[in-house]
Amino acid sequence: MARAPILDIQGLAVKFNGRRVLKGIHLSVEQGEIVSLIGPNGAGKTTLFNAITGLVRPSAGSVRFCGEDITGWPAHRICWAGIARTFQIARPFPEMTAEENVRIGIWFGKRKKELPRSRNTREEARRLLHLVGLEGKEETPGRELTLSEQRRLEVARALATAPRLLLLDEIAAGLSPQAVSHAARLVRALRDQGTTILLIDHFLNLTARVSDRLLALDQGETIAEGSPAQVLHHPEVLSAYLGERHPHTGSGEIP
């Protein structure tokens, strides 16, 4: 029997004040896949993340995770079920050290009791900081980290809840080419360790490098789905980005 997809979204719709912001999205993600959501400003990418993670309640449709219907569950229960996310604007606790920020995630994710006796929360936090490339920054307060480091800290904090599905919101936006390469390596390494990944990548920095599959949204609807090569050359995707006059280049070109 075929295994159920890890994430199965059917006909998902979200309204804000009567305005339809997501209009019946379908998306199925298999265990171990890296899938990117792309689309111009206001397409509905973050709203889709919010609906999956319980921050907004869908007006129609369903979200199933590992075969279980999690539609409308509160955010903390969805996190405990195994879905973690980062936010577009990283907000580490500014006065806490990087290590303390990650330990909070371990406590929140209720994982302490699952850790092997030999590994306490401090060691686990350090392992995760090392994994995201923040070794040497363990004692640095959140407010003193660079933008790129704060994003990596967000990823470590999300990983601290031991997710099976990780949702990464614009982790490569505004980063240097070197930091984008680091983010790409990190995403692939996380997948290789068994985490399924859904990315939002408005600026298309990571899309072609890491994704198995893309879902392109525009004005709350799916306009294309398929391999990066198929979707990035799809006429509706080109026209959605051109219509926006891409903010990266100002020229309307997809970078």
Ligand X SMILES: Nc1ncnc2c1ncn2[C@@H]1O[C@H](COP(=O)(O)OP(=O)(O)OP(=O)(O)O)[C@@H](O)[C@H]1O
**Which positions lie near ligand X, rule CB under 6 A?**
16, 21, 39, 41-47, 202
Query: Which letter, b or e, does each residue of 18-29 get, where b requires 16 or more Cβ atoms within 10 Å of its Cβ?
Result: eebbbbebebbb
Rounded to 10 deg, the angle between the 98-108 and 121-131 helix axes is 110
Using an 8 Å Cβ cutoff, are 35 and 210 in contact? no
E-strand ranges in the chain read 7-16, 19-29, 34-38, 60-65, 68-69, 83-85, 165-169, 196-200, 213-218, 221-226
CB of 217 to ligand X, least distance (A): 6
Give least dist CB 36 to ligand X, A. Answer: 12
Whether residue 142 contacts residue 153, with contact meaning beta carbons closer than 8 Å, is answered with: yes
CB atoms within 10 A of CB 81: 16
